[in-house]
Amino acid sequence: MPRAEHAISREDISDNALKVMYRLNNAGFSAYLVGGCVRDLMLGHKPKDFDVVTNATPEQIKGLFRNCRLIGRRFRLAHIVFGREIIEVATFRGHHNEDPSVAKQDDEGQLLRDNVFGTIEEDAERRDFTFNAMYYDVATFSVTDFANGINAIKRGEVDLIGDPEVRYREDPVRMLRAVRFAAKLDMTINPRTAKPIKELAHLLSNIPPARLFEEMLKLFLSGHGLQTFRLLREYNLLEPLFPMLGKVFAAPDSKEIGLIELVLKNTDERINTGQRVTPAFLIATLLWYPVEEHATKLQSEAGLNGHDAFNIAMGDILHRQSQRIMIPKRFSTVVRDIWHLQQRLPRRFGRRAFQLLSHPKFRAAYDFLLARGRTEGGDLLELADWWTQFQDASPANQKKMLNTLRQEEGREPRKRRRPRKPKSDSHAQ
C-alpha cells in the first residue's frame, strides 16, 4: 500500500523509532516498523511502543548504536535506549531447522530456543496474528500487508497465522494474547483461532512464572481488564494462571467473582483517566478469599489463634501463587500490608484509629475494604462507610465519632493514669 492508500504519517511515529530506522537504512540495511504499532496506527490509535525489524543481525545492530543492549535467550533482541523510551529491534526470523544450536522445541512443541534468522517473507509467516504482519517502510512510506491483516481489522477478528494448534503449542502465551487483543480492540476471536484454546489451556503451566507475571500486567492493567477477565473465564484460561481459584471461576455469581469484577472495573476507570494503579492491589483482590479460607482451615485443624493463622495463610497463599505467576517482593510486601490492615481496620478504639490513618498503606487498605463492603454488604459496608466519614472529618467530629462508637459498643473510656513522680537519685549529678 503506497502512502496514498493508508493513514500512517511520520508525525504519528516516535522520533526515536525514526532515528533507528534511518540509521539502519543509511548503513545499508532494511528497516521496518512492525506488529502492534503498525496495527494501532492503521486503526487510528496511538501506539504504546514502537518495534522495528531489520535484516541486520543483533551484533550488527549493536555495532551501530552505542545505546544498545542485547537481550533474550529464546530469541536475541536489541533494545536501543533513549532515556525512558526503548525501541526494540529484532532481526527477521526464519523457519526452524534441525540444528539444535539455533532452534529447539520440547515434547509439547513449545519453542525453547529460536535464533533462526531469515527474510522478511519468512518473518511475516512467523508472526502470530494476521494484523501483526503489516510492515511500514520509512524509506518508501509504504505498508506491506503479508497476511490480509487489513481484512481482519475490517471484520473485527483476531485471527492466527497458520495452524492454531501448532502455533499455540509453539508458544502457549499466544492464547493469552488472542484474548487480550480481542478485549483491547473490541474484536471477536475467529472460530478457527478460538477452537483449540480450551483444550490447550493447560500448556500455560509450562511458561516461566516471571514471564506470566509480565503477561498478567498486560492482561489486567491495560485499561480493558474487566472484559479481558470475562474472556479468560470464557476460554478456561484463568485456572492455569490462578489454580487456587478453580472453584471460584466455576461459580459465576459468587462474592469472589463480584469482588474481582468490581476491582477490575475501578482499575480500568483509573487507568483510562490517567490515575496510578499498582499490581499489588489486583493481586490482593484475586487471592483474598483463598487467604481467608486457608486461615479458617488452619484455625480449625491446627488449633492456631486467628492472628497466627492469618499470618501463616498469607505466606502460604503467596508462595503457592508464585509457583505459577511470580510476585516480586516489592509487590508481595504491599499485598501483605493490605491484607494485614483488613484485620486491624475493625479495631478503632483509643489511638488506634489515628495510628491506622497514618499508616503508609492505609489508603490502599481502605479502598480494598470499601470494595469488599460493596461486594458483601452488611457489617463490612458499615465499617467501610465509618472510615469514609472518619478520615475526612474534623478533629472534633472524629472525637465525637469515637465516643459514639464506644457508647454503641458499651465501652467506658479509659481513665488516664497520673504519671508517677520520679524517685530521687542521690547519685545523680
The residues annotated with a catalytic role in the active site are 49, 51, 128
How distant is the alpha carbon of residue 19 from its chain centre?
Answer: 30
Residues 6 or more apart whose Cβ sits within 8 Å of residue 424: none
Between helix 225-234 and helix 173-184 the angle, nearest 10°, is 130
Between the alpha carbon of residue 248 and those of residues 6, 315, 355, 377, the distances in Å are 46, 21, 35, 19
What value, to the nearest 5°, has the Cα angle with vertex 421 and ends 419 and 427? 140
Cα Rg, the chain, nearest whole Å: 28
Per the DSSP assignment, residues forming a β-bridge with 88 are 51, 79
**Grid coordinates given for 390:** 472518619
Cβ–Cβ under 8 Å, residues 120 and 30: yes
Q: Which residue has the cell 478533629?
A: 395
Under 8 Å CB-to-CB from 429, ≥6 apart: which residues? none
